[in-house]
Amino acid sequence: MTSHEVTADVFLSETYARGVPYARYRELRDTAPVCRIGEPAVGPWPAGPGFWAVFRHADVKHVLRTPEVFSSYTGATQIADPDTERDLVFLRTMMLNQDPPAHARLRRIVSAAFTPRAVRELEAVIDARAHALVDSVADVGATDYVELAADLPVWTLAHIMGVPEEDRRLLYDWSNRVIGYQDTDRADSSTADPEALSPMGRAALAHRPATLARPDGTVAAPRTHEALADMFVYAHALADHARPGSIMAQMREGGLTRDEFETMFLLFATAGNETLRNGIPGGLKSLLDHPDQYELLLEREDLTHSAVEEVLRYWPPVMDFRRTATRDTELGGRRIRRGEKVVVFHASANRDERVFTDPDRFDITRTPNDHVSFGFGPHFCLGAHLARVQLRTMLRVTIDRLPGLDRAGEAVRLASNFQNGLKRLPVRWRTDR
């Protein structure tokens, strides 16, 4: 370890399987707010060079709003370095991994689908879907809320993109493989029934690689072109059948290169649903863990908006993102060299006592609430408004229509140093309505 390097606990996915290490974050905010973190080998993934971790709210915002110094493009935005230069070149075509002004060009092509007006037009169908989901289990008295809640963001994304009903499960599997790959229960997700898929779904599934092992003995990362061949075959087939004016038509006709089109589909198909698949169950768990706040929200519908913001602060779906220094610079009293990785910890920034009073307290009346769960600066989440609508709707419908809702067993966390997720959240309620 270097003289400024601390242990790799905040990097290891096994740490997060036990819970987000908020106490450790607090210690580091106080003693080493910008520090070197080790990057040991994990499973088939090789060791990395380590990175600068950023824990305080002000420093996180500074990094995110200064792309000319802390670049999304140089090394992409995941902690692990891409395996090959070819992989990096491909990932750089994704909007998430671009810097201004190229990032703004890609964002403009698809932004019309996420304006407040466009989202308002979706609110009625999202509300109807949430009611249908909750009503489908209301007389049963128990369910795994992770599985129940997962349907809403997947269904909404499929609705926006024009994915046929029979192919929705492909979106679920793709996001598991791309986002949840650190967890053995998600890494090889294959829940879609081939016999139930559309012809283009079955054709795409035929291109799924049987193994990610390479001839040289290494394992392809889950975001490489070779690992996602089935997704990209499907993306092109879906665009060929896209209705005029749809987001898929905009992507096809908006001047994207082939690689840009494929990585845009990758971004929507994974980030567009995985964050909410984690955020909605995480929000309900936060409420159930704080019965006084649950009861307050049940009694006061007017607090729903502020409750959603507190859920986002308290249970940020994305815990960290990477940047790369484009030049020698200084941050938090540390000298950062050009080319070094810089990782901002949103989950730590959201508990920074320099910004939030009593930050470990879950308070649905908290205002102001300057969380960074949707990022900050030029990469502020394009789908933030849509995410808020889905989170607000599903949580509101759940607590209103399932009386006496309570935990029915232990929650099981996702093993990931990136997504703050749950794999299971068993709940129960009264059926004597």
Residues 308-330 pLDDT 10s: 999 999 999 999 999 999 999 99
For the chain, how many helices (H) and strands (E)?
Answer: 16, 13
- For the chain, percent helix, then strand, then coil, each to nearest 5? 50, 10, 40
E-assigned strands of 23-106? 34-37, 51-54, 70-71
Q: What is the pLDDT of residue 217?
A: 60
pLDDT confidence band for 1 (50 / 70 / 90): very low
> What percentage of the chain exceeds 90 in pLDDT?
81
| Segment 386-410 mean pLDDT | 97
What gap in Å lies between CA 172 and CA 307, rounded to an integer? 27
Note the pLDDT of residue 57.
98
Q: Are 203 and 233 in contact (CB under 8 A)?
A: yes
For range 132-157, the mean pLDDT: 96
Q: Which residue would you say has higher pLDDT here, 305 or 188? A: 305
> Which of 267, 307, 258 minimizes the C-alpha distance to 175?
267
Among 69-73, 155-159, 221-225, 352-356, the minimum mean pLDDT is found in 221-225
Q: What percent of the chain stands above pLDDT 70?
A: 96
pLDDT of residue 3: 41
Mean pLDDT value of segment 340-346: 98
- What pLDDT score was predicted for residue 218? 63
- pLDDT tens readout for residues 84-140: 899 999 999 999 999 999 999 999 999 988 888 889 999 999 999 999 999 999 999
Question: Residue 381, SS3?
Answer: coil
pLDDT the model gives residue 210: 76
Per-residue confidence at 181, pLDDT binned at 50, 70, 90?
A: confident
Better-predicted residue by pLDDT, 187 or 139:
139
Instruction: Classify residue 420 by its DSSP letter.
Output: -
The set of residues, in sequence order, having a beta carbon less than 8 Å from that of 195 and lying 6+ positions away, is none
Mean pLDDT of the chain: 93
Whole-number pLDDT of residue 30: 97
pLDDT at 273: 84
Asked whether the beta carbons of 83 and 220 are under 8 A apart, the reply is yes
Q: What is the per-residue pLDDT for 178?
A: 86
Tokens, residue 266 = 């990758």
What domains are there in the chain, each with its CATH number?
A: 5-428 (1.10.630.10)
* Distances in whole angstroms, Cα of residue 421 to Cα of each of 122, 142, 393, 424: 26, 20, 19, 9
pLDDT of residue 264: 95
pLDDT band at 73 (very low <50, low <70, confident <90, very high): very high
Q: Please, how many CA atoms are within 13 Å of residue 309, restricted to the half-sphere of its CB?
A: 12
**pLDDT for residue 274 is more than 60:** yes
Tokens of 230: 């089935």
- What per-residue confidence (pLDDT) applies to 72? 98
pLDDT at 2: 44
From the centroid of its chain, how far is CA 197?
Answer: 26
Greatest Cα pair distance in the chain: 65
Nearest of 268, 200, 280 to residue 240 by alpha carbon: 200
Runs of H (alpha helix) within 111-219? 116-137, 145-161, 168-179, 199-205
